[in-house]
Amino acid sequence: AMEEEWTIEWSEHNKIYYDAKEELEQKKYLHAFRDFSRAIDILMTGLHSYRKEMVHQARWKKGPPSASQDE
């Protein structure tokens, strides 16, 4: 995700992920499962957005987004 520069709300993802880890340690399995699922959903939303951009660029015959193009 980071290498390909997906658009992800990292602060929200990290908070939910660490909350889930804490809940797992406290054996609050239902809450941990819910929060891990939410963290995965945030990643998948970023992946969907990235793939959508890749398809758009392929249609317009542009390369994938990269840091070198921004310079």
DSSP letters along 17-33, please? HHHHHHHHHTT-HHHHH
Return the structure tokens found at 57: 């660029």
Q: State the pTM of this model.
A: 0.64
**According to the model, what pLDDT value does residue 29 have?**
97
In a domain, 64, yes or no: no
In a domain, 2, yes or no: no
24 is a domain residue: yes
Examine residue 48 and state whether it is found in any structural domain, yes or no: yes
67 within domain boundaries:
no
Instruction: Tell me if 22 is assigned to some domain.
Output: yes
Counting the structural domains of the chain, the total is 1
- List pLDDT tens digits, range 12-57: 999 999 999 999 999 999 999 999 999 999 888 888 777 777 776 6
Taking residues 1-13, what's their average pLDDT? 74
pLDDT of 53: 74
Domain with 43 in it: 16-59
Residue 34 inside a domain? The answer is yes
Distances (CA, A) of 48 to 6, 19, 33, 65: 9, 24, 22, 15
